[in-house]
Amino acid sequence: MKSYAIITDIHGNSPALKAVLEDIDSKEIEQIFCLGDMIGIGPDSNTVMELLLQRNNISFVIGNHEIAVIAAYKGELPPKGHEDERVHHKWLADRIEERYIDFLKKLPKRIVYEDSGIKFYLAHYHLNSMGDYLPIEKNPTSEKLDELYSNLDYDIVCFGHHHIVHQFKSDKINYFNPGSLGCYHKPIARYGIVRINNNSIEEEVIEVPYNNVSFLKSYEDLKVPDREFILKIFHGAQI
C-alpha cells in the first residue's frame, strides 16, 4: 500500500502548516501534493513558502491567490473576480520575497500522476477548456463532477479552493477535497491522505489541533488589510 498526502489552501497560516507537516512526517507518506493557495488571506507568506520549499517530496500546482499576488507584485491588473481584494494582495506582494514569486509563477495549474495503474488528476480547482478556474459549485454531487470529467480518464480527482471537505465517489471516479488547511473556524488544520492498495483507493481527512492564538492576533498586530472580514469569514471570529 502507498499513501499520498494532499494539502491545499494553506492561506499564509504557518503554524497550521507546521502542525500538518509534523503529522505527515509521523506517517509513511510517499509524496505530498500541494494544491495551491499557499499564500493570500494570512500574513505568513514567506514562512509558509520557506517551510514548503525546504522539502524535496512536495509537488505543487498554482492557486488563484498566487495568481492574484503575482499580478499585484508585477503591477498588472487583478485577475477576474479579485478586483475587490487588490489592496490585500498588494499588501502581501509588497512583503513576499522575490525568489518565491519567481518560484510561484512557474507552477502549473494541474498535475497528472500515475501509480500502480491508478491515475491521479490534481488541480487547485476544476478548470474549463481554456484552463481557467470554474466558479465554485456550492452544491457539488458526483453526477455534476462526472459531467465535468466525462471525457477524461482518471481514477481520482483531488482539488481544493472550496474550503469545505468533498468526498464523492461515482462508478468512474473518486473526488477528494480535504478542506482548507489554514482557514477553519476551529484551531484545527486539515489535510488528506490518499491510500492506494492494489486497485483500491481510500481517502481520509486528517484533523490536526494547533495553537492559533498568536497567528490570529498577528492580523491586528500587522494591520493586515480586510482583517475584520477575514477573521470573521475565514476563521469563524475565534478572537
DSSP state for residue 100 in the 8-state scheme: H
pLDDT at 198: 84
Residue 239 has pLDDT above 90, yes or no: no
pLDDT in tens, 178-224: 999 999 999 999 999 999 988 899 999 999 999 999 999 999 999 99
pTM: 0.96
pLDDT at 196: 94
**Amino acid occupying residue 127:** L
- Report the mean per-residue pLDDT for the chain: 96
User: Hey, how many other C-beta atoms are within 10 angstroms of the C-beta on 214?
Assistant: 9
pLDDT at 199: 83
Residue 29 has pLDDT above 90, yes or no: yes
CA distance 15 to 183: 12
Residue ranges of alpha helices (H) inside 41-160 are: 45-53, 64-74, 86-93, 98-104, 142-148
We find that the CATH architecture of domain 2-233 is 4-Layer Sandwich (3.60)
pLDDT in tens, 58-102: 999 999 999 999 999 999 999 998 999 999 999 999 999 999 999
CA distance 67 to 125: 13
User: Hey, how many other C-beta atoms are within 10 angstroms of the C-beta on 187?
Assistant: 18
Whether the CB-CB separation of 32 and 58 falls below 8 Å is answered with: yes
DSSP state for residue 85 in the 8-state scheme: G
40 to each of 5, 9, 78, 143, 234, how far by Cα in Å?
22, 9, 13, 32, 12
pLDDT in tens, 148-166: 999 889 999 999 999 999 9
User: Residues with Cβ < 8 Å from 41, sequence gap 6 or more?
Assistant: 11, 12, 65, 88, 182, 183, 230, 234
